[in-house]
C-alpha cells in the first residue's frame, strides 16, 4: 500500500474505503469487523463516511463495530462529512419532525452538533478529517470558520477539507478559515473528467493537496455502460490491460487515476474484500503518457489538439 501525507502527523492510505452503501452490504457487526480487519491487513486504513449515509444510520453501524473492537480505531483514519439536511433527524436541536426541502446548513451550531453526533455514532473521540459535503450559496463563511476553530481547539477534529467544491468556492472558504484545507473530495473517473478540466485538480496541485475521488469506476459504467464512449473505453482498457498484465479492466481504470501526478486518492465502496483488493492491486501499475491519453481519447472521441 502507498500512503499520502495529508497534514503533519496525518497520512491516508492511497485507497480509501467508503461507506455510502454500508447498509446495502448485508453485514452484521461481526461480519463488518472481519471485513475491516481484512481491509486493514491489505493496507486500507482510511475510512470515508458522511453523516447522511444510509439515511443517517451508516455511521452508527460502523460505530457498533468499533465499540465491539475499539483496538481497530488506532489503526484507522476517520473522515466524515456534514452540511446536507433532508429531514428533521434531530428535534432536540432543530424543531420539527421533517424538513420541507433538502438543504445545506453550515451554521456554527449545526456543524458542531453534527460533529458531536458523528463522534458518538462512530464510537470515536475525534474525527481525523471533517469535510463540508457540498458548497452552499447561502453559507456564512465566518460561521464555518468559527466552527472549525472551536472544533480544532476542543480536539474533536484534527483537519478540515471540502467535497464537491469548484476552485472559486474552495478559495472563498479558504480566505476565511484559519486552518488549512487538506483535500477536496470530488467525482473523477475515466468517464467523468470534468474536474480535470474545470480547474479543480489544477488547484489541488497548486496547493500541494491530494484530491479524494468518489465513484472512481463511474458507478460501474465502465463495465456495463452501452453508450459509444463506454464501448470505446472498454476496448481501450482491454488493450492496455493486455499490455501491462493486469487482471481486469478495473485495474487499468484505477491505474489511469494513480498515474496522474496529482496523487489522486480513490474511494472504493465495496463490502467484499475481493473487490476492495482491486484498486490495491492496481497500485503496482503506472501508465505511460501514450496509454493515459489512449484512455482520454477513447472517452472524448477525438485526439488532443
Q: How many CB atoms lie within 10 A of CB 127?
A: 24
Angle between helical axes of 58-68 and 29-41 (0-180°, round to 10)? 80
> Mind telling me the catalytic residues?
53
Under a CB-based contact definition with an 8 Å cutoff, are residues 246 and 185 in contact?
no
Q: Which long-range contacts (CB under 8 A, 24 or more apart) does 236-245 make?
A: 236/294, 236/295, 236/297, 236/298, 237/190, 237/295, 239/294, 240/287, 240/291, 240/294, 240/295, 243/291, 244/285, 244/287, 244/291
Which helix (H) or strand (E) segment holds residue 183: the answer is strand 181-187
Query: What distance in Å separates the CA atoms of residue 27 and residue 190, rounded to the nearest whole number?
Result: 30
Amino acid at each position: 500500500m502507498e500512503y499520502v501525507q495529508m497534514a503533519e502527523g496525518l497520512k491516508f492510505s492511497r485507497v480509501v474505503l467508503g461507506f455510502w452503501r454500508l447498509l446495502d452490504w448485508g453485514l452484521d457487526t461481526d461480519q463488518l469487523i472481519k471485513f475491516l480487519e481484512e481491509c486493514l491487513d491489505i493496507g486500507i486504513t482510511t475510512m470515508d463516511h458522511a453523516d447522511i449515509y444510509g439515511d443517517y444510520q451508516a455511521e452508527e453501524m460502523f460505530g457498533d463495530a468499533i465499540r465491539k473492537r475499539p483496538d481497530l480505531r488506532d489503526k484507522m483514519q476517520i473522515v466524515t462529512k456534514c452540511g446536507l439536511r433532508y429531514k428533521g433527524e434531530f428535534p432536540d436541536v432543530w424543531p420539527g419532525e421533517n424538513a420541507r426541502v433538502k438543504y445545506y446548513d453550515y451554521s456554527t451550531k449545526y456543524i458542531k452538533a453534527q460533529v458531536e453526533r458523528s463522534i458518538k455514532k462512530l464510537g470515536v473521540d475525534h474525527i481525523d478529517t471533517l469535510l463540508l459535503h457540498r458548497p452552499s450559496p447561502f453559507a456564512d463563511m465566518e460561521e464555518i470558520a468559527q466552527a472549525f476553530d472551536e472544533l480544532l481547539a476542543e480536539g474533536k477534529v484534527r483537519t478540515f477539507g471540502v467535497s464537491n467544491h469548484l476552485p472559486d468556492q474552495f478559495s472563498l472558504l479558504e480566505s476565511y478559515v484559519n486552518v488549512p484545507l487538506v483535500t477536496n473530495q470530488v467525482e473523477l473517473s475515466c468517464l467523468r473528467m470534468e474536474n480535470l478540466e474545470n480547474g479543480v485538480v489544477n488547484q489541488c496541485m497548486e496547493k500541494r493537496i491530494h484530491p479524494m475521488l468518489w465513484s472512481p469506476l463511474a458507478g460501474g459504467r465502465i463495465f456495463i455502460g452501452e453508450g459509444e464512449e463506454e464501448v470505446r473505453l472498454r476496448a481501450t482498457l482491454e488493450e492496455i490491460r493486455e499490455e501491462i498484465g493486469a487482471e481486469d479492466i478495473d485495474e487499468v481504470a484505477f491505474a489511469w487515476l494513480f498515474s496522474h501526478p496529482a496523487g489522486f486518492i480513490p474511494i472504493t465502496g465495496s463490502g467484499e474484500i475481493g473487490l476492495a483488493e482491486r484498486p490495491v492491486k492496481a497500485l503496482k501499475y503506472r501508465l505511460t503518457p501514450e496509454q493515459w491519453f489512449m484512455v482520454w481519447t477513447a472517452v472524448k472521441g477525438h485526439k488532443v489538439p
